[in-house]
Structure 1
Amino acid sequence: MNKLIKIVPVMLIAITFMACGGSDDGGSAPPTPNTAPTAVSNLIYPSSDLLCIDTNIEFEWAAATDADNDNLEYTIRVATDRDQTNIVAQQTTSNTSVLITLNPGIAYYWNVVASDGEDEAEASPTLAFYTEGEGVSNYVPFAASIIAPEMDAFLDSGSVSLQWSGSDVDVDDTLTYDVFFGTTDTPDLLQSDVTATTLDVTTVAGTTYYWKIDTKDNNGTKSIGQVWTFTTN
Protein backbone atom coordinates (compact mmCIF):
# COMPACT_ATOMS: atom_id res chain seq x y z
CA MET A 1 0.00 0.00 0.00
CA ASN A 2 2.87 2.37 0.80
CA LYS A 3 4.44 1.71 -2.61
CA LEU A 4 1.22 2.61 -4.33
CA ILE A 5 0.98 5.90 -2.45
CA LYS A 6 4.51 6.88 -3.50
CA ILE A 7 3.90 6.17 -7.18
CA VAL A 8 0.71 8.21 -7.53
CA PRO A 9 2.36 11.68 -7.07
CA VAL A 10 4.95 10.84 -9.72
CA MET A 11 2.23 9.98 -12.21
CA LEU A 12 0.36 13.18 -11.39
CA ILE A 13 3.50 15.25 -11.95
CA ALA A 14 4.02 13.61 -15.34
CA ILE A 15 0.41 14.19 -16.38
CA THR A 16 0.55 17.81 -15.24
CA PHE A 17 3.73 18.36 -17.21
CA MET A 18 2.21 16.92 -20.38
CA ALA A 19 -0.99 18.93 -20.03
CA CYS A 20 0.77 22.22 -19.39
CA GLY A 21 3.61 21.84 -21.81
CA GLY A 22 1.62 23.39 -24.71
CA SER A 23 2.63 23.35 -28.35
CA ASP A 24 6.11 24.27 -29.48
CA ASP A 25 4.89 26.99 -31.88
CA GLY A 26 4.74 29.60 -29.14
CA GLY A 27 0.93 29.69 -29.28
CA SER A 28 0.90 32.04 -32.27
CA ALA A 29 -2.39 32.58 -34.12
CA PRO A 30 -2.77 31.13 -37.64
CA PRO A 31 -2.10 33.60 -40.48
CA THR A 32 -5.04 35.61 -41.76
CA PRO A 33 -6.28 34.35 -45.16
CA ASN A 34 -5.53 36.64 -48.07
CA THR A 35 -8.43 38.53 -49.67
CA ALA A 36 -8.39 38.89 -53.45
CA PRO A 37 -8.71 42.44 -54.82
CA THR A 38 -11.89 43.68 -56.40
CA ALA A 39 -12.27 43.47 -60.15
CA VAL A 40 -11.50 46.50 -62.29
CA SER A 41 -14.97 47.84 -62.95
CA ASN A 42 -14.26 50.78 -65.24
CA LEU A 43 -12.24 50.67 -68.45
CA ILE A 44 -11.73 54.34 -69.29
CA TYR A 45 -9.95 54.34 -72.67
CA PRO A 46 -10.50 53.10 -75.30
CA SER A 47 -14.19 53.26 -74.51
CA SER A 48 -16.68 50.75 -75.85
CA ASP A 49 -16.97 50.57 -79.67
CA LEU A 50 -14.53 53.43 -80.20
CA LEU A 51 -12.81 54.04 -83.56
CA CYS A 52 -9.21 54.96 -82.68
CA ILE A 53 -7.51 57.13 -85.26
CA ASP A 54 -4.06 56.45 -83.77
CA THR A 55 -2.55 52.97 -83.41
CA ASN A 56 -0.40 54.11 -80.45
CA ILE A 57 -3.06 53.70 -77.79
CA GLU A 58 -2.81 54.79 -74.16
CA PHE A 59 -5.01 52.27 -72.37
CA GLU A 60 -6.43 53.55 -69.09
CA TRP A 61 -8.61 52.01 -66.38
CA ALA A 62 -9.83 52.73 -62.85
CA ALA A 63 -7.90 51.28 -59.91
CA ALA A 64 -9.12 48.20 -58.10
CA THR A 65 -9.31 48.05 -54.30
CA ASP A 66 -7.85 45.53 -51.86
CA ALA A 67 -9.16 44.83 -48.34
CA ASP A 68 -5.64 43.95 -47.16
CA ASN A 69 -4.15 47.15 -48.61
CA ASP A 70 -1.75 45.08 -50.70
CA ASN A 71 0.13 46.64 -53.60
CA LEU A 72 -1.73 45.77 -56.79
CA GLU A 73 -0.59 44.87 -60.27
CA TYR A 74 -2.71 44.88 -63.42
CA THR A 75 -2.46 42.60 -66.43
CA ILE A 76 -3.97 44.03 -69.60
CA ARG A 77 -4.81 41.69 -72.44
CA VAL A 78 -5.66 42.78 -75.98
CA ALA A 79 -7.06 40.20 -78.38
CA THR A 80 -8.66 40.00 -81.80
CA ASP A 81 -11.63 38.03 -80.46
CA ARG A 82 -14.08 38.74 -77.68
CA ASP A 83 -13.35 35.55 -75.73
CA GLN A 84 -9.62 36.41 -75.64
CA THR A 85 -8.24 33.26 -77.22
CA ASN A 86 -6.06 35.14 -79.73
CA ILE A 87 -4.14 37.57 -77.51
CA VAL A 88 -1.91 39.95 -79.49
CA ALA A 89 -0.64 42.10 -76.60
CA GLN A 90 -0.28 41.49 -72.87
CA GLN A 91 1.47 43.57 -70.23
CA THR A 92 1.61 43.65 -66.43
CA THR A 93 2.06 46.97 -64.65
CA SER A 94 1.56 48.60 -61.27
CA ASN A 95 0.08 51.67 -63.01
CA THR A 96 -3.47 52.14 -64.24
CA SER A 97 -2.42 53.00 -67.79
CA VAL A 98 -0.07 51.60 -70.41
CA LEU A 99 0.89 52.49 -73.99
CA ILE A 100 0.48 49.73 -76.58
CA THR A 101 1.04 49.98 -80.34
CA LEU A 102 -1.37 47.96 -82.49
CA ASN A 103 -2.01 47.42 -86.18
CA PRO A 104 -4.43 49.58 -88.20
CA GLY A 105 -7.81 48.46 -89.49
CA ILE A 106 -8.49 45.74 -86.91
CA ALA A 107 -11.18 45.14 -84.31
CA TYR A 108 -9.67 44.56 -80.86
CA TYR A 109 -11.10 43.43 -77.53
CA TRP A 110 -9.46 44.27 -74.19
CA ASN A 111 -9.80 43.68 -70.48
CA VAL A 112 -7.75 44.01 -67.28
CA VAL A 113 -7.15 41.63 -64.36
CA ALA A 114 -6.00 42.93 -60.95
CA SER A 115 -3.70 40.88 -58.69
CA ASP A 116 -2.24 41.36 -55.20
CA GLY A 117 0.62 38.90 -55.76
CA GLU A 118 -1.29 36.00 -54.24
CA ASP A 119 -4.75 36.07 -55.75
CA GLU A 120 -6.26 37.44 -58.95
CA ALA A 121 -9.56 39.24 -59.21
CA GLU A 122 -12.13 38.39 -61.82
CA ALA A 123 -11.45 39.97 -65.19
CA SER A 124 -12.98 43.35 -65.95
CA PRO A 125 -15.69 43.62 -68.59
CA THR A 126 -14.32 43.19 -72.11
CA LEU A 127 -14.63 46.22 -74.40
CA ALA A 128 -14.28 46.39 -78.18
CA PHE A 129 -12.63 49.09 -80.29
CA TYR A 130 -11.36 49.55 -83.82
CA THR A 131 -8.10 51.00 -85.11
CA GLU A 132 -8.66 53.12 -88.19
CA GLY A 133 -7.35 51.68 -91.44
CA GLU A 134 -6.17 53.64 -94.47
CA GLY A 135 -8.80 53.82 -97.19
CA VAL A 136 -11.32 51.76 -95.23
CA SER A 137 -14.87 52.81 -96.11
CA ASN A 138 -16.67 50.08 -94.18
CA TYR A 139 -15.68 48.26 -91.02
CA VAL A 140 -16.63 44.74 -90.03
CA PRO A 141 -19.18 44.74 -87.18
CA PHE A 142 -17.91 43.86 -83.72
CA ALA A 143 -18.51 40.32 -82.55
CA ALA A 144 -21.74 40.04 -80.58
CA SER A 145 -21.54 40.13 -76.79
CA ILE A 146 -23.59 37.87 -74.55
CA ILE A 147 -26.40 39.18 -72.33
CA ALA A 148 -28.39 36.08 -71.34
CA PRO A 149 -28.19 33.29 -70.44
CA GLU A 150 -24.83 33.97 -68.83
CA MET A 151 -21.94 31.75 -69.86
CA ASP A 152 -22.19 28.26 -68.25
CA ALA A 153 -25.47 29.16 -66.53
CA PHE A 154 -27.85 26.53 -65.12
CA LEU A 155 -31.48 27.15 -66.10
CA ASP A 156 -34.88 25.53 -65.83
CA SER A 157 -35.82 23.69 -69.00
CA GLY A 158 -38.55 24.91 -71.33
CA SER A 159 -38.53 28.21 -73.19
CA VAL A 160 -35.22 30.09 -72.94
CA SER A 161 -34.65 33.59 -74.29
CA LEU A 162 -31.28 34.03 -76.00
CA GLN A 163 -30.19 37.67 -75.71
CA TRP A 164 -27.13 39.41 -77.11
CA SER A 165 -25.80 42.82 -78.12
CA GLY A 166 -24.33 43.91 -81.44
CA SER A 167 -22.45 47.06 -82.46
CA ASP A 168 -20.59 48.65 -85.36
CA VAL A 169 -18.41 51.74 -85.65
CA ASP A 170 -20.25 52.48 -88.91
CA VAL A 171 -23.25 53.88 -87.11
CA ASP A 172 -25.38 54.06 -90.25
CA ASP A 173 -25.06 50.32 -90.93
CA THR A 174 -28.01 48.03 -90.33
CA LEU A 175 -27.08 44.87 -88.46
CA THR A 176 -28.64 41.43 -88.76
CA TYR A 177 -27.71 38.20 -87.01
CA ASP A 178 -27.35 34.52 -87.81
CA VAL A 179 -28.27 32.46 -84.74
CA PHE A 180 -26.67 29.04 -84.23
CA PHE A 181 -28.05 26.69 -81.57
CA GLY A 182 -27.70 23.02 -80.68
CA THR A 183 -26.33 20.34 -78.37
CA THR A 184 -22.80 20.13 -79.85
CA ASP A 185 -19.93 22.60 -79.64
CA THR A 186 -20.44 23.35 -83.34
CA PRO A 187 -24.12 24.33 -83.22
CA ASP A 188 -26.24 24.34 -86.38
CA LEU A 189 -27.77 27.43 -87.93
CA LEU A 190 -31.15 27.96 -86.29
CA GLN A 191 -32.27 31.17 -87.96
CA SER A 192 -30.60 33.66 -90.32
CA ASP A 193 -31.03 37.40 -90.86
CA VAL A 194 -32.56 38.02 -87.45
CA THR A 195 -33.12 41.76 -86.95
CA ALA A 196 -33.83 41.61 -83.20
CA THR A 197 -31.22 40.89 -80.51
CA THR A 198 -33.26 38.17 -78.80
CA LEU A 199 -34.66 34.82 -79.87
CA ASP A 200 -36.63 32.24 -77.87
CA VAL A 201 -35.62 28.57 -78.05
CA THR A 202 -37.15 25.42 -76.59
CA THR A 203 -35.02 23.20 -74.33
CA VAL A 204 -35.35 19.89 -72.47
CA ALA A 205 -34.07 19.01 -69.01
CA GLY A 206 -30.59 17.72 -68.27
CA THR A 207 -28.98 19.02 -71.47
CA THR A 208 -26.04 21.29 -72.28
CA TYR A 209 -26.74 23.70 -75.13
CA TYR A 210 -24.32 25.67 -77.31
CA TRP A 211 -25.10 28.85 -79.18
CA LYS A 212 -23.39 31.65 -81.08
CA ILE A 213 -24.25 34.76 -83.03
CA ASP A 214 -22.66 35.89 -86.31
CA THR A 215 -23.15 39.61 -86.94
CA LYS A 216 -23.62 41.03 -90.45
CA ASP A 217 -23.94 44.57 -91.77
CA ASN A 218 -25.82 45.75 -94.86
CA ASN A 219 -22.56 45.78 -96.87
CA GLY A 220 -22.14 42.03 -96.54
CA THR A 221 -19.28 42.05 -94.00
CA LYS A 222 -19.61 39.63 -91.11
CA SER A 223 -17.99 38.90 -87.75
CA ILE A 224 -18.00 35.35 -86.39
CA GLY A 225 -19.23 35.03 -82.81
CA GLN A 226 -17.81 32.86 -80.05
CA VAL A 227 -19.66 29.76 -78.79
CA TRP A 228 -21.53 30.12 -75.49
CA THR A 229 -23.05 27.39 -73.34
CA PHE A 230 -25.75 26.81 -70.74
CA THR A 231 -27.21 23.72 -69.09
CA THR A 232 -30.80 22.92 -68.19
CA ASN A 233 -31.78 21.36 -64.86
Structure 2
Amino acid sequence: MIKSLISQALALIILLMLVGACSSSSSTEEVEVMPPGKPNGILPTNGETCSDFIEVPQDETKAIILFTWGSISNATGYVLEVFDGNVIQNSISASRTDVEVTLDKGKSYTWTVTAENSAGQTKSDTMSFTTPGESVANYAPYAAEISTEFKSETSELIVSWSGSDQDGDALTYNILVKDSKDIETVNQTGMTETALDPIVVNLGETYSISVKSIDGFGNFSISVSSITIKN
Protein backbone atom coordinates (compact mmCIF):
# COMPACT_ATOMS: atom_id res chain seq x y z
CA MET A 1 0.00 0.00 0.00
CA ILE A 2 2.77 2.45 0.96
CA LYS A 3 4.75 1.55 -2.16
CA SER A 4 1.65 2.17 -4.29
CA LEU A 5 1.12 5.61 -2.73
CA ILE A 6 4.79 6.50 -3.24
CA SER A 7 4.58 5.41 -6.89
CA GLN A 8 1.45 7.50 -7.42
CA ALA A 9 3.07 10.53 -5.79
CA LEU A 10 6.18 10.19 -7.97
CA ALA A 11 4.04 9.85 -11.08
CA LEU A 12 2.11 13.01 -10.11
CA ILE A 13 5.34 14.97 -9.53
CA ILE A 14 6.75 13.88 -12.91
CA LEU A 15 3.47 14.85 -14.63
CA LEU A 16 3.50 18.29 -13.01
CA MET A 17 7.13 18.81 -14.05
CA LEU A 18 6.30 17.90 -17.68
CA VAL A 19 3.29 20.24 -17.71
CA GLY A 20 5.44 23.03 -16.27
CA ALA A 21 8.14 22.44 -18.86
CA CYS A 22 5.60 22.54 -21.70
CA SER A 23 4.04 25.74 -20.33
CA SER A 24 7.47 27.34 -19.98
CA SER A 25 8.42 26.34 -23.50
CA SER A 26 5.23 27.69 -25.06
CA SER A 27 5.41 30.95 -23.13
CA THR A 28 8.93 31.67 -24.36
CA GLU A 29 8.20 30.97 -28.03
CA GLU A 30 9.00 34.06 -30.10
CA VAL A 31 6.24 35.60 -32.20
CA GLU A 32 7.41 35.95 -35.81
CA VAL A 33 7.65 39.58 -36.88
CA MET A 34 6.69 40.26 -40.49
CA PRO A 35 8.17 43.13 -42.53
CA PRO A 36 5.92 46.20 -42.56
CA GLY A 37 3.38 46.83 -45.30
CA LYS A 38 3.88 49.41 -48.05
CA PRO A 39 3.04 52.97 -46.89
CA ASN A 40 0.95 55.31 -49.06
CA GLY A 41 1.85 58.97 -49.38
CA ILE A 42 -0.98 61.47 -48.76
CA LEU A 43 0.47 65.00 -48.81
CA PRO A 44 1.76 66.77 -50.82
CA THR A 45 -0.78 65.61 -53.41
CA ASN A 46 0.89 63.64 -56.18
CA GLY A 47 1.47 65.50 -59.45
CA GLU A 48 0.24 68.90 -58.26
CA THR A 49 1.54 72.26 -57.08
CA CYS A 50 1.52 72.33 -53.28
CA SER A 51 -1.12 74.78 -52.03
CA ASP A 52 -0.82 73.97 -48.31
CA PHE A 53 2.44 75.49 -47.06
CA ILE A 54 3.91 77.93 -44.55
CA GLU A 55 6.01 80.93 -45.49
CA VAL A 56 9.51 81.09 -44.01
CA PRO A 57 10.10 84.35 -42.10
CA GLN A 58 12.89 86.51 -43.57
CA ASP A 59 13.33 84.14 -46.56
CA GLU A 60 10.79 84.48 -49.37
CA THR A 61 12.63 81.86 -51.46
CA LYS A 62 11.69 79.03 -49.07
CA ALA A 63 8.46 77.29 -48.03
CA ILE A 64 7.67 74.83 -45.24
CA ILE A 65 5.92 71.78 -46.74
CA LEU A 66 3.92 69.24 -44.73
CA PHE A 67 4.45 65.57 -45.67
CA THR A 68 1.93 62.99 -44.43
CA TRP A 69 1.40 59.28 -45.11
CA GLY A 70 -0.82 56.43 -43.96
CA SER A 71 0.07 54.57 -40.76
CA ILE A 72 1.36 50.98 -41.01
CA SER A 73 0.23 48.86 -38.03
CA ASN A 74 3.45 46.85 -37.57
CA ALA A 75 5.92 49.65 -38.38
CA THR A 76 8.15 50.94 -35.60
CA GLY A 77 9.38 53.94 -37.58
CA TYR A 78 9.55 55.67 -40.95
CA VAL A 79 12.17 57.33 -43.15
CA LEU A 80 11.09 60.23 -45.39
CA GLU A 81 13.35 60.95 -48.39
CA VAL A 82 12.92 64.04 -50.60
CA PHE A 83 14.74 64.20 -53.94
CA ASP A 84 15.70 66.94 -56.39
CA GLY A 85 16.31 64.86 -59.51
CA ASN A 86 18.31 61.91 -58.17
CA VAL A 87 19.91 63.91 -55.36
CA ILE A 88 18.56 63.43 -51.84
CA GLN A 89 17.66 66.82 -50.36
CA ASN A 90 16.34 65.48 -47.05
CA SER A 91 16.37 62.13 -45.26
CA ILE A 92 14.40 62.23 -42.02
CA SER A 93 13.65 59.43 -39.55
CA ALA A 94 10.30 59.73 -37.80
CA SER A 95 8.07 57.80 -35.42
CA ARG A 96 4.99 59.75 -36.55
CA THR A 97 3.25 59.91 -39.92
CA ASP A 98 3.82 63.62 -40.60
CA VAL A 99 6.96 65.72 -41.07
CA GLU A 100 7.53 69.37 -42.04
CA VAL A 101 10.39 70.11 -44.46
CA THR A 102 11.75 73.47 -45.64
CA LEU A 103 12.32 73.50 -49.43
CA ASP A 104 13.09 75.97 -52.23
CA LYS A 105 10.10 77.61 -53.86
CA GLY A 106 9.31 77.05 -57.52
CA LYS A 107 10.85 73.59 -57.88
CA SER A 108 9.63 70.06 -58.56
CA TYR A 109 10.55 67.36 -56.05
CA THR A 110 9.94 63.64 -55.67
CA TRP A 111 9.60 61.76 -52.39
CA THR A 112 9.22 58.34 -50.83
CA VAL A 113 8.54 57.06 -47.33
CA THR A 114 9.93 53.79 -46.00
CA ALA A 115 8.26 51.83 -43.18
CA GLU A 116 10.65 49.97 -40.87
CA ASN A 117 10.63 47.32 -38.14
CA SER A 118 12.99 44.63 -36.86
CA ALA A 119 12.10 42.33 -39.78
CA GLY A 120 12.91 44.75 -42.58
CA GLN A 121 11.89 47.78 -44.61
CA THR A 122 9.20 48.48 -47.21
CA LYS A 123 9.32 51.57 -49.45
CA SER A 124 6.34 53.42 -50.88
CA ASP A 125 5.89 54.20 -54.55
CA THR A 126 7.45 57.50 -55.64
CA MET A 127 5.34 60.64 -55.49
CA SER A 128 6.07 64.15 -56.79
CA PHE A 129 4.93 67.74 -56.42
CA THR A 130 5.91 71.33 -57.18
CA THR A 131 6.53 73.90 -54.47
CA PRO A 132 4.69 77.24 -54.77
CA GLY A 133 6.33 80.24 -56.37
CA GLU A 134 7.86 81.18 -59.71
CA SER A 135 10.51 78.85 -61.05
CA VAL A 136 13.95 80.32 -61.75
CA ALA A 137 14.42 77.65 -64.42
CA ASN A 138 12.42 75.05 -66.29
CA TYR A 139 10.55 72.67 -63.98
CA ALA A 140 11.58 69.03 -63.72
CA PRO A 141 8.85 66.56 -64.80
CA TYR A 142 6.54 65.06 -62.23
CA ALA A 143 7.36 61.49 -61.23
CA ALA A 144 5.51 59.11 -63.52
CA GLU A 145 2.56 57.19 -62.06
CA ILE A 146 3.30 53.49 -62.68
CA SER A 147 0.53 50.92 -63.22
CA THR A 148 0.99 47.13 -63.24
CA GLU A 149 -1.29 44.20 -64.00
CA PHE A 150 -0.45 40.49 -63.83
CA LYS A 151 -2.12 38.20 -66.39
CA SER A 152 -2.16 34.80 -64.65
CA GLU A 153 -3.36 32.94 -67.74
CA THR A 154 -0.22 33.92 -69.69
CA SER A 155 2.17 34.61 -66.75
CA GLU A 156 2.73 38.09 -68.18
CA LEU A 157 3.18 41.43 -66.42
CA ILE A 158 1.67 44.51 -68.05
CA VAL A 159 3.52 47.74 -67.20
CA SER A 160 2.36 51.22 -68.16
CA TRP A 161 2.85 54.70 -66.79
CA SER A 162 1.57 58.27 -67.03
CA GLY A 163 3.99 61.19 -67.11
CA SER A 164 3.40 64.95 -66.94
CA ASP A 165 5.35 68.18 -66.74
CA GLN A 166 4.51 71.52 -65.13
CA ASP A 167 5.76 73.36 -68.24
CA GLY A 168 3.98 71.06 -70.69
CA ASP A 169 7.28 69.85 -72.18
CA ALA A 170 7.40 66.67 -74.26
CA LEU A 171 8.90 63.78 -72.28
CA THR A 172 10.96 60.70 -73.00
CA TYR A 173 11.35 57.76 -70.64
CA ASN A 174 14.07 55.35 -69.53
CA ILE A 175 12.58 52.12 -68.16
CA LEU A 176 14.33 49.54 -65.98
CA VAL A 177 12.68 46.37 -64.64
CA LYS A 178 14.69 44.09 -62.30
CA ASP A 179 13.93 41.03 -60.21
CA SER A 180 14.90 40.51 -56.56
CA LYS A 181 18.37 39.31 -57.63
CA ASP A 182 18.99 42.58 -59.53
CA ILE A 183 18.77 40.76 -62.87
CA GLU A 184 17.48 43.13 -65.54
CA THR A 185 14.33 42.00 -67.34
CA VAL A 186 13.85 45.25 -69.27
CA ASN A 187 16.24 48.14 -69.93
CA GLN A 188 14.92 50.62 -72.50
CA THR A 189 15.92 54.25 -73.02
CA GLY A 190 14.52 57.19 -74.95
CA MET A 191 10.98 55.82 -75.09
CA THR A 192 8.12 58.08 -76.11
CA GLU A 193 5.50 55.37 -75.56
CA THR A 194 3.97 54.93 -72.10
CA ALA A 195 3.74 51.13 -71.95
CA LEU A 196 6.02 48.10 -72.32
CA ASP A 197 5.38 44.95 -74.27
CA PRO A 198 4.10 42.20 -71.92
CA ILE A 199 6.87 40.72 -69.73
CA VAL A 200 6.94 37.01 -68.88
CA VAL A 201 7.45 36.74 -65.10
CA ASN A 202 7.79 34.08 -62.39
CA LEU A 203 5.32 33.39 -59.58
CA GLY A 204 6.58 34.44 -56.15
CA GLU A 205 9.17 36.82 -57.60
CA THR A 206 9.29 40.54 -56.74
CA TYR A 207 10.00 42.98 -59.56
CA SER A 208 11.19 46.58 -59.23
CA ILE A 209 10.11 49.05 -61.93
CA SER A 210 11.92 52.35 -62.44
CA VAL A 211 10.70 55.07 -64.81
CA LYS A 212 12.96 58.07 -65.46
CA SER A 213 11.02 60.96 -67.04
CA ILE A 214 13.18 63.43 -68.98
CA ASP A 215 12.20 66.75 -70.58
CA GLY A 216 13.92 68.54 -73.47
CA PHE A 217 16.06 70.60 -71.09
CA GLY A 218 17.58 67.54 -69.43
CA ASN A 219 15.53 67.90 -66.25
CA PHE A 220 14.30 64.57 -64.94
CA SER A 221 12.51 62.72 -62.17
CA ILE A 222 12.66 59.05 -61.21
CA SER A 223 9.65 56.99 -60.12
CA VAL A 224 10.01 53.52 -58.57
CA SER A 225 7.36 50.89 -57.88
CA SER A 226 7.44 47.19 -57.05
CA ILE A 227 5.15 44.19 -57.42
CA THR A 228 5.24 40.63 -56.07
CA ILE A 229 3.74 38.14 -58.49
CA LYS A 230 0.95 36.12 -56.85
CA ASN A 231 -1.74 33.78 -58.17
TM-score of the two chains, using structure 1 as the length reference: 0.58
What is the CA RMSD across the aligned residues, in angstroms?
5.2
- Quick one: structure 1 residues 181 and 113, their matched pair in 2 at CA, closer, same or farther if it must change by over 3 Å? closer
CA offset digits 1:62-86 (Å, max 9, x no partner): 663759xxxx87535123179x994
* Pairing 1:68-217 to 2, within 5 Å after superposition: 75-80=78-83, 86=88, 88-94=90-96, 96-104=97-105, 106-112=107-113, 122-131=122-131, 136-148=136-148, 160-170=157-167, 172-179=168-175, 185=184, 188-189=187-188, 192-194=190-192, 196-201=193-198, 203=200, 212-217=210-215
Q: 1:28 to 1:198 in 2, by over 3 A?
A: closer
More strand, by proportion: 2
CA change 1:142–1:105 in 2 (3 A) is same
Contact preservation (8 Å) 2:175, 2:209:
yes
* Secondary structure of the corresponding residue to residue 5 of structure 2: helix
What's the CA shift string for 1:131-163, capped at 9, x where partnerless?
A: 4676534212134343225xxx89776765331
Q: Deviations over 1:25-70 (max 9, x none)?
A: 9889848959888765451x32112335863323143663759xxx
Q: Which among 15, 18, 25 is matched to residue 11 of structure 2?
A: 15
C-alpha deviations, 1:195-227, integer Å up to 9, x for none? x4213146588999886544233x443426467
Give the residue type in structure 1 aligned to 2:197: D
Give the AA of the match of 1:56.
A
Q: d(CA) in 2 for partners of 1:130 and 1:180? A: 25
**Percent identity at matched positions?**
22
User: 1:229–1:41: structure 2 CA closer, same or farther, 3 Å change rule?
Assistant: closer
**TM value normalised by structure 2:** 0.59
Could you tell me which runs of 5 or more consecutive residues in structure 2 were left unpaired when the two chains were aligned. 56-61
